[in-house]
Structure 1
Amino acid sequence: MKVVAQRESLAEMVQLAQAVCPGRSARPILENLLLECRDSGGVLMATDLEVGLRLHVPQLEVEVPGTTLLPARTMLALLRELTDEEIRLESQGDRLLVLGEKSEFQFPTPDAMEFPEVPDYQAESYHAFTARNLSEMLRRTEYAVETEGTRFNLGGVYLELGDEKVTAVGTDGRRLACQEGQARRVGGHRPSEDVIIPRRVVEIIQRILSRESDDQEVKLAVEDGKIFVITSSAVVSGRLVDARFPKWCEVFPKAPEKVRVDLPVREFASATRQASIVVDDKNPGILYTFTSGKLVLSGRGASQGESRVELPIGYDGEEAMVRLNQRFILDFLKVLGDEGTFTLKIWSEESPVLAETADGYAYLMMPLVLGSN
C-alpha cells in the first residue's frame, strides 16, 4: 500500500477513530486503526468489539491499494507534531513507513488480516433524521441515563421509533428526560427489539454528528441487536443494550398540577448556582419556595453556612415548597442554553416535579425530603 495524505485531514480522522480504541486491551490489535485503501479512496476503521467506526478519509491519493494498521495513539501524536502539509504512508510487510519532506518514521504493525471486522451498512430500511435533530435528541437525554451499572436496562438512551415521530428517553430511576423529534420511516423500518443505545455508543455518535451540517440527512437503522448510524462520511455501529426498557410513560403524574409557573432559564440557573455554593453531601438539595411574585431558594451546609436567594417570578398562586437535587436541576438547564423559558409543574412535596419546554422536551425529577436540611 502506498498513499499520499493531507496531514491535517488524516490527523482529524485519526483523532475521531482513536476515541473508539480501548486504552488497554487483552487484544492489543484493538489499539490500532485499520486503513483500507482502494482506487476509489480510503476508509479508516476502529473498534473495541462493542462500538465500531468507519470513516471516509478525504484528500487521500491512493498510488497502490492495500491495507495496513496504524498504531492509534502514536500516529495521532506524530501527526500533531509534524508540520508537513502532505505525508506518505507505505506498508512494507510487517512495518509501516511514514515519510515527511525531511523526516522518516517506521512502526512495526500486526497482521491487518487479524483485525476484527468493522461492519458497514447499506441502509434500505431505516429512520431518516436531520443531523441537528438526532444530535439534539441524544444530547438532551444522554446525561440522565444510569451510570453506576446497577440497572442494566437503564444504561442507555431509549428510542421509540414511529412513522413520523421519534421519542428519546434517558433515566436513572431518580430522574427522566425525554425529547420528541421528527424522523421519517423508510423501507418499513420497524425494529423488533427495544432500541436502547449504550451511553458510550451515544458519545461516539455525537462526535460524528458534530461534523455534519444541521440539515444533513442521517440514517439510523437497527438490525440483529445492533444500531447503525450512517452519515455522508461515516458509519457508527454498536451493540444495543439487551434488555427491556421500563414503561416510562406511566411515571408522569395524571392529576392537575398544584403549581404551574414559567421560569427564565438564565436567571433560574444563576440563582440555583448561587444557592448551591454552601450545599454539601450531608445536606443535599435546594429548597424552592414559591410565593406570590417571587421564588426563594435556600441551601444549607454542615460547614459552609446557609444561603438565601430571591428571584422575581410571575406567580400568584398559593405558597408551595419543594426540595430538589441541585445537580439534577443544573444538568437540565445546561442543555437548554441561556435563552428562553421553561414551565415548571409541581403536584406535591413528595410527587415528581416536571419541567417542560415548548419544543417537546420534558424532564421529570423526584424531590428530596423537605426536612432533609
Structure 2
Amino acid sequence: MKLICDGLDLSDAVMKVIKATSQKTTNPVLEGIKLVAEDDTLTLSATDLELSMQKSIKAEVFIDGETVVPGKFFAEYIKKLTNEQIELTCNEKNMLEIKYTDSTGNIQALSAEEFPNIKRLENAESFEITSKDLKSLITKSVFCVSTEDSRPILKGVLFEIQDKKIKAVALDGYRLAMVNKDLKDNSSNFTCIVPARSLNEISKLLEDTDEIIKVHVTKNYLMADVNDTRIITRLLEGDFINYKQIIPTQFTTEVTINKAQLEDALDRASLLSRIDRNNLVKFDITDKLMMLSSKSDIGDIKENITVALNGNDLTIAFNVRYFNEALRVINDEFIKLSFTVASAPCILKSSETDEYVYLILPVRVV
C-alpha cells in the first residue's frame, strides 16, 4: 500500500472513526483502524462489533492495499500533522511508514484479514429525514435513557416510524421523553430500539441543515450516511416498555409559564440543593404565582414566577436535574406544566405544538 493524502483530511477522518474502536477488549484488532487504499480513495473503518464507523477521503493512491493501525496511537500521531501532506507506505510485513516534510515515523500494523467484516444491510426498511430534524430528535430524547445495566433495553431510544412521522421515546424509570418529527419519506411502518451511544455519535455528525439523511434499518442493524461518514449500529433486542400506559391524559392543575424564567429560577433555587446533593426543589403553585424553594443547613432560597394557572393549587417537589435537562433542549418561549396530585408525574410540553412531551416523577417530601 502506498498513497499520499492531506493531513487535515486524514486527521478529521481518524478523529471520527476512532469513536467506534473498542476500549475494553483482548482482541487488538478491535482497538485498531482499518486503512484501505484503492481508486484514489483512502477508507478508514473501526468497529467494536456493536458500533461501526467508516469514512473515506481523497488520496493519490500509487499501490492499492490495506492494513490495520493501532487506533489510539495513530490518532494521537496524525492529530499533530494536520498541516502536512502525508505519505503512507505499508510493506508485506504490515510495517507502516509515515512520511511528512523531512521526517518519518514507523508503526507496526496488523493484518487486515483479522479485521471483522462490517455489515452490509440488505432488504432494509428505510426512512428519510432532514439533518436538523434528526439532530433535534436525538438531542431532545437521548438524555432520558437509562444508564443501568440491569435494564439494558432502556439504554436505547425507541423509534416508531409510521405514515411519514417518527416518534422517539426514551425513559430511565424517573423521567420519559417523547419527541415527534415529520419524515420526508418512509418505506413502511416499523419500530426499532437504537443504543444511546450510537445516537450520540450520529448526532455529532449532523448539522442544522435541510440536507436529507436516509436511514436504513434491518432486524438487527441501523445504518446512516452523514457527510461521507457511515455509521452502522447493532440494535437492541427485546420489547420496549409500554410507555403509553404511564402517560397521564387528565389533569387537575395546568400552568403556562415562560421557559427562560423557569430555567433561571430553577438554576438559582437549586444552588442549595446541589450543596446538599439532594437536588430537591419544591413547587408551590397558587392562583397566579409559582414559588420554587430549596433549603439546606446554610439557608433557604425562594423564587417567585408569575404564571397562568388553570385548575387547583398544588405543592409538589422534584429532582431539579430532571427539569433542567429537559428545559436545556427546549427552544419554545412558553411551556405548559400539567399535574394531578403531588404523588403523580408532571407532564412538560410545548404550549403550542405536540413536538415533545416530557414526563417527570415527583419526589416525596417528608
TM-score range, shorter chain: over 0.9
Matched AA of 1:348: V
Residue 259 of structure 2 is aligned to residue 260 of structure 1: no
Q: Which moved more, 1:22-31 or 1:139-148?
A: 22-31
Matching of residue 351 in structure 1 with residue 344 in structure 2: yes
Which residue does 2:309 correspond to in 1? 315
Letter in 2 for 1:224: K
Shift of 1:254: 2.6
Partner Cα separation in structure 2 for residue 150 and residue 197 of structure 1: 17
Establish whether residue 112 from structure 1 lines up as the match of residue 112 from structure 2.
yes
More off after superposition, 199-208 vs 89-98: 199-208
Deviation, 1:258, is 1.6
Whole-angstrom distance in 1 between the partners of 2:124 and 2:59: 28
Name the CA distance, whole Å, in 1 between partners of 2:204 and 2:95: 31
> Identity of paired residues, percent?
23
Contact 2:130 2:184 in 1 (8 A): no
Matches for 1:190-201 after TM superposition, within 5 Å:
190-191=189-190, 194-201=191-198
- CA distance in 1 between partners of 2:202 and 2:157 (Å): 12
**Per-residue deviation, 1:63:** 2.1
- Other-structure match for 2:199: 202
- Secondary structure at 2:141 match in 1: helix
- Matching residue of 2:267: 273
For residues 157-215 of structure 1, the C-alpha deviation after alignment (integer angstroms, 9 at most, x for no partner) is 000011211100000122110100111444x3444xx51111111122112224xx611
2:2 matched residue in structure 1: 2
Mapped contact 1:123–1:221 kept (Cα < 8 A): no
Unaligned 5+ residue runs, structure 2? none
Residue deviations 1:263-285 (CA, integer Å, cap 9, x gap): 22221111101111111567542
| Distance apart, 1:28 and its partner CA | 0.9
| Aligned partners of 1:166 and 1:182 also within 8 Å | yes
Relative to structure 1, the CA distance from residue 26 to residue 250 in structure 2 (aligned partners, 3 Å threshold; closer, same or farther) is same
Q: Which amino acid is 1:249 matched to? A: K
Q: Distance in 2 between matches of 1:326 and 1:295?
A: 15
State the match for 1:25 in structure 2.
25
- Give the SS at the match of 1:176: strand
Pair 282,190 (structure 1): closer, same or farther in 2 beyond 3 Å? closer
Moved more, 34-43 or 233-242: 34-43
Q: Which amino acid aligns with 2:126?
A: Y
> 3-state SS of the aligned residue for 2:17?
helix
Displacement of 1:113 in angstroms is 0.9
Aligned partners of 1:96 and 1:106 also within 8 Å: yes
1:216-252 alpha-carbon deviations (Å, 9 max, x no partner): 1111222131111223512211111111011111112
- Work out whether residues 273 and 295 of structure 2, in 8 Å CA contact, stay in contact via their aligned partners in 1: yes
CA 1:238/1:359 → structure 2, altered by over 3 Å: closer, same or farther? same
In structure 1, how many angstroms separate the alpha carbons of the residues matched to 2:55 and 2:3? 16
Q: Is the 8 A contact 1:54 1:118 kept in 2?
A: no
- Aligned-partner residue type, residue 130 of structure 2: T
Distance 2:354 2:98 in 1: 50
The offset of 1:2, in angstroms, is 1.2
The 1:283/1:233 distance shift into structure 2, 3 A limit, reads closer
Number of residue-to-residue matches in the alignment:
362
Amino acid at match of 1:287: K
Per the alignment, in what secondary structure is the counterpart of residue 300 of structure 2?
strand
Q: 1:294 to 1:228 in 2, by over 3 A?
A: same
Q: Which amino acid aligns with 1:198?
A: P
Deviation of 1:132 (Å): 1.1
Residue 242 of structure 2 aligns with which residue?
A: 247
Alpha carbons 2:123, 2:218 under 8 Å: kept: no
Kept in 2, the 8 Å contact 1:219–1:230? The answer is yes
SS at match of 2:240: coil
Q: How does 1:98-247 map to 2 (within 5 A)?
A: 98-121=98-121, 125-186=125-186, 188-191=187-190, 194-210=191-207, 214-247=209-242
SS in 1 for 2:140: helix
In 2: Cα distance, 1:31 partner to 1:169 partner: 32
Gaps of 5+ in 1: none
The range that moved more, 47-56 or 84-93, is 84-93
